[in-house]
Chain A
Amino acid sequence: GAVVSQHPSRVICKSGTSVKIECRSLDFQATTMFWYRQFPKQSLMLMATSNEGSKATYEQGVEKDKFLINHASLTLSTLTVTSAHPEDSSFYICSATFMGGNTEAFFGQGTRLTVV
């Protein structure tokens, strides 16, 4: 089956620093990747959609300069949280779909970010 790997699974960083989260499709070419954010005891909120080689499309209310998304290859997308603050602490999950696939997306394991 299609596997999506997300790294790191947990990260703690100091306020003001930047953190990069990687999302890789291990056995398929991901034409589209999605980034979600999940607050404690809440649902997953879509942050942005990225297609390989083009700029990400951000959902309303998501700061583009705060959450930098790069989808440079068909197997890798990265989310960089810039100048992180404690309110950015959350669970971030990526997913990927591929051309010719059905409508199912494949999810990474998630990254728990804690900003101190």
Chain B
Amino acid sequence: GDSVTQMEGPVTLSEEAFLTINCTYTATGYPSLFWYVQYPGEGLQLLLKATKADDKGSNKGFEATYRKETTSFHLEKGSVQVSDSAVYFCALSDRNTGGFKTIFGAGTRLFVKA
């Protein structure tokens, strides 16, 4: 079945450092890919998405490119801030998974130090 694998955390960075969180997926169809962010004690927020190969999703300085050839959707940010400290989930949604259910990776916790 469909699955998402993302790098284990926690990831600890200093402010203004470059961030990469790796994400790869397995899917039988042509999924849409997402990054969600969850701040402590809160629900999920959609950070960015890409619906087809070579699409680049971007938001708040974060970017991720849908790479079909490597089945990847790595999250990047050029300069992180303390306020970016949160848990980041890579996810996919596929028409073939029955009603577009979303499948999540394990999540990567990011700590940004001042």
Q: Which A residues contact B (CB, under 8 angstroms)?
A: 6, 31-32, 34, 41-44, 46, 49, 51, 57, 93, 95, 97, 101-105, 107-110, 112
Which among B32, B49, B99 has the greatest number of chain A C-beta atoms within 10 A?
B99
A34 to chain B: which residues have CB within 8 Å?
99, 101-102
CB within 8 Å: A-B pair count:
63
Q: Is the CB–CB distance between B42 and A95 below 8 Å?
A: no
Contact B100 A110 (CB under 8 A): no
- Rounded to whole angstroms, the CA-CA distance of A62 and B41 in the bound complex is 24
Q: Which residue of B41, B95, B105, B106 contacts A103 across the interface (Cβ within 8 Å)?
A: B95
- Contact mask B74-114 → A, CB, 8 Å, 1/0? 00000000000000010001110011111111110100000
Interface residue B17 (Cβ < 8 Å from any Cβ of A): no
When distances are taken between beta carbons in the complex, the residues of chain A under 8 Å from B100 are: 32, 97, 101, 103-105
A sample of 4 more A-B contacts (CB under 8 A), given A44-B104, A105-B100, is: A32-B100, A51-B99, A103-B94, A104-B46
Which of A42, A44, A109 has the largest count of B CB atoms less than 10 A from its CB?
A: A44
Contact of B32 with A97 in the complex, beta carbons under 8 Å: no
Interface size range on B against A: 20 to 34
Q: Are B43 and A109 in contact (CB under 8 A)?
A: yes
A43, A51, A57, A109: the one within 8 Å of B104 (CB): A43
Q: Tell me the bound Cα distance from A76 to B35 in angstroms.
A: 26
Interchain CB contact under 8 A, A105 and B102: yes
18 A-B pairs in the complex with CB atoms less than 8 angstroms apart: A32-B99, A34-B99, A42-B107, A44-B89, A46-B101, A46-B102, A46-B103, A95-B102, A101-B100, A103-B51, A103-B93, A103-B94, A104-B49, A105-B93, A105-B100, A108-B43, A109-B43, A112-B41
Instruction: Determine the residue in chain A with the shortest Cβ distance to B44.
Output: A107
B31 adjacent to A103 (CB under 8 Å): yes
Which residues of the other chain, A, contact B51 by a CB distance below 8 angstroms? Answer: 102-103
Q: Which residue of A lies closest to B29 (CB)?
A: A103
